[in-house]
Amino acid sequence: MSDITKQSLSELVENIKSKKLSSSEVTKAFVERSEKSKELNAYITEDYTNALNKAKKFDEKPNLDLKLPGIPMAVKDLFCTRDLRTTAGSKILNNFVPTYESTVTQNIWNEGAILMGKLNCDEFAMGSSNETSFFGNVQNPIDKNLVPGGSSGGSSSALAAQLTPITIGTDTGGSIRQPASFTGTVGLKPTYGSCSRYGIVAFASSLDQAGPMAQNVKDCALLQEVISTYDEKDSTSIDFKRNEYSKELTKDIKGKKIGIPKEYRVDGMPKEIEDLWKKGIEYAKDCGAEIIDISLPHTNYALPTYYIVAPAEASSNLARYDGVKYGFRAEGENLIDMYEKTRSEGFGAEVQRRIMIGTYVLSSGYYDAYYLKAQKVRKLIKNDFDDAYKKVDAILTPSTPSSAFKIGEKTNDPVSMYLNDIFTVPVNLAGLPGISIPAGHDAKGYPLGLQIIGKAFDEQNILNIAYAMEEKINFKNNINDWWIK
């Protein structure tokens, strides 16, 4: 069967279950395409030989009752994988091989999937373009020299380039939805507490959430169904009734009330984005949804709030990378000297910047003015959503204020880089689920995404809305395999 890698996850599962394809055939196809795609730099660590062996083993005794039978996939290198190097895109973990598996990846392997390798990402997931990775930037398959978004940039690139049929990322301020938007793919950030954080290298604990990335909404729903489990090993994991998202998926969203927040019409937003949003509203109406104007008054404060809370938590979370126990160590005259050299050489500029911001806002004398105030604003932002959800079932916004930008375009301007997360960050601060679906192209032909934000634990609803709109939008990615010689 030709064009295996062009198939969606659902098609692959179907073909393996009906024995039209073996896991080995599928795995070999994705491995071969991955090997031809080194120029994208989507992988940090390849594990192709093991993947092929596992596929062979699966085929010898295939369990076709599983949800991901013999499906190969590569995952973001923020998930700890037993016996396979896990770097978080950082020099400081360059040589780190976990002896344990993250809950989310374990859930995936339990359903029969096979690990192909670890995907590039911004260092410790801090970035919006995958340019902060110690392992180099990643190319967007849409166009040469275009960023794939970040921090799950290796994931979005590999997915859009069909090096992996599905993948997972993590989203602290938009790190799944923004790269999905930049590559014409679907990305879901689940409700905080839906997916276990156990075994995921932490960036900002109160915001981090793993989520699925896929070619279409149905695949996304299936993967969410697999990865979302209650986990006693994560104290912030929430024990709620999880749907069988893919089975319960429906395009019938008639009468659903969808809110349009006026505060998301930000200054300087390109007309293309405004137009896309309007188009999105029309699609939603076409699906039978009711459009309601709403207000999220504290939206303006979301980005500054995020850039206090996230670095504060990061500055503490990253303290463990000190050269004492594992990972990179620079030699020093004494303990302090060793710390300073290890962390100066081991962390990149963006990570160091955020550690410094975080250390500053937590310092005595500044704590109340920054961290405490940010937490109060965070509560107000959450209240905004709670108020809005008294009137609507979901909220529709653009995913990003622009399409993908050029590599190097924003590297010297961190603030303009941070602005990229303006529509995604409030969702993390409020702990809500949000999904980005491809909805059109800009004048350059680059994909643009729309974001649907749901109530807490209401993933099914936003998946349904996305599923219905996806059909109306009928998006096609223009990828011409420019990197394959």
Partner 1 sequence: MSKNKSEYLINRHDSQYEVVIGLEVHAQVTSESKLFSTSATKFGAEPNTQVSLVDAAFPGMLPVINEYCVKQAIKTGIGLKAKINKRSVFDRKNYFYADLPQGYQISQFKDPIVGEGKVILDMPDGQKEVGIERLHLEQDAGKSIHDLDPKNTFVDLNRSGVALMEIVSKPDLRSPDEVNAYIKKLRSIMRYLGTCDGNMQEGSLRADVNVSVRKKGSKEFGTRCEIKNVNSIKFMQMAIEYEANRQVDLIEDGQTIDQETRLFDTKKNETRSMRSKEDAHDYRYFPDPDLLPLEVSDDFIENLKSEIPELPDEKKKRFIEKFKLSPYEANILVSDIETSNYFENVIKKSDVKLATNWIIGELFAALNEKNLEITESPISAGNLSKLINLIKDGTISGKIAKTVFEQMMEGDKDPQKIVEEKGLKQESDPKALEALIDKVIDDNRDKATEYKSGKVKLFGFFVGQVMKVSGGKANPQLVNEILKKKL
Segment 371-410, which members bind partner 1 (CB under 8 A)? 371
Does position 80 bind partner 1 by CB under 8 A?
Answer: yes
| 175 belongs to the catalytic site | yes
Considering the complex, what minimum distance in angstroms separates the CB of residue 374 from partner 1? Answer: 11
Q: Which two tokens stand for residue 474?
A: 């009928």
Considering the complex, what minimum distance in angstroms separates the CB of residue 50 from partner 1? Answer: 21
Count of alpha carbons within 13 angstroms of residue 350, beta-carbon side: 26
Residue from 88, 223, 448, 473 in contact with partner 1 (CB under 8 A): 88
Residue carrying structure tokens 């109160």? 206
Marked catalytic residue, from 24, 102, 133, 151: 151
Considering the complex, what minimum distance in angstroms separates the CB of residue 13 from partner 1? Answer: 29
Does position 199 bind partner 1 by CB under 8 A?
Answer: yes
Q: Alpha-carbon distance 381 to 422, whole Å?
A: 13
Does position 200 bind partner 1 by CB under 8 A?
Answer: yes
Does position 168 bind partner 1 by CB under 8 A?
Answer: no
Please answer whether residues 328 and 95 qualify as being in contact, where contact means their C-beta atoms are separated by less than 8 angstroms: yes
Residue from 56, 57, 96, 263 in contact with partner 1 (CB under 8 A): 96
Residue from 59, 322, 409, 442 in contact with partner 1 (CB under 8 A): 322
Residue from 70, 72, 89, 98 in contact with partner 1 (CB under 8 A): 98
Does position 335 bind partner 1 by CB under 8 A?
Answer: yes
Q: Alpha-carbon distance 229 to 108, whole Å?
A: 11
The DSSP element (H or E) to which 214 belongs, if any, is: strand 210-214
SS3 state of residue 205: coil
Q: Alpha-carbon distance 224 to 355, whole Å?
A: 32
Pairing verdict, β 290-294 and 434-441: unpaired
Pairing verdict, β 290-294 and 257-261: parallel
Question: In 3-state terms, the chain is what percent helix, strand and coil (to 5)?
Answer: 40, 15, 45
| 151 belongs to the catalytic site | yes
Does position 204 bind partner 1 by CB under 8 A?
Answer: yes
Residue from 19, 100, 275, 282 in contact with partner 1 (CB under 8 A): 100
Does position 195 bind partner 1 by CB under 8 A?
Answer: no
Sign (positive or negative) of CA dihedral 40, 42, 47, 53:
negative
Q: Alpha-carbon distance 351 to 355, whole Å?
A: 6
The DSSP element (H or E) to which 21 belongs, if any, is: none
Does position 482 bind partner 1 by CB under 8 A?
Answer: no
In the complex with partner 1, the residue whose CB is nearer, 201 or 439, is 201
Name the one range near partner 1 by CB under 8 A: 173-181, 311-319, 433-441, 467-475: 311-319
DSSP 40-108: G--EEEE-HHHHHHHHHHHHHS--TTSSSTT-EEEEETTB-BTTB---TT-GGGTT---SS--HHHHHH
Q: Alpha-carbon distance 246 to 250, whole Å?
A: 9
Q: Alpha-carbon distance 453 to 475, whole Å?
A: 20
| 102 belongs to the catalytic site | no
Considering the complex, what minimum distance in angstroms separates the CB of residue 459 from partner 1? Answer: 21
Name the one range near partner 1 by CB under 8 A: 16-24, 159-167, 323-331, 391-399: 323-331
Name the one range near partner 1 by CB under 8 A: 108-116, 136-144, 314-322, 443-451: 314-322
SS3 state of residue 398: strand
In the complex with partner 1, the residue whose CB is nearer, 324 or 349, is 324
Residue from 229, 316, 352, 477 in contact with partner 1 (CB under 8 A): 316
Considering the complex, what minimum distance in angstroms separates the CB of residue 72 from partner 1? Answer: 23
SS3 state of residue 256: coil
Does position 262 bind partner 1 by CB under 8 A?
Answer: no
Count of alpha carbons within 13 angstroms of residue 209, beta-carbon side: 35
Cis-peptide into 416, omega within 30 deg: no
Does position 229 bind partner 1 by CB under 8 A?
Answer: no
Task: Catalogue the active-site residues.
Answer: 76, 151, 175
Using CB under 8 A as the criterion, which residues of the chain lie in contact with partner 1 when the complex forms? 80, 86, 88, 93, 96, 98-100, 102, 197-202, 204-206, 232-236, 312-313, 315-316, 318-320, 322, 324-326, 335, 339, 359, 362-364, 367, 371
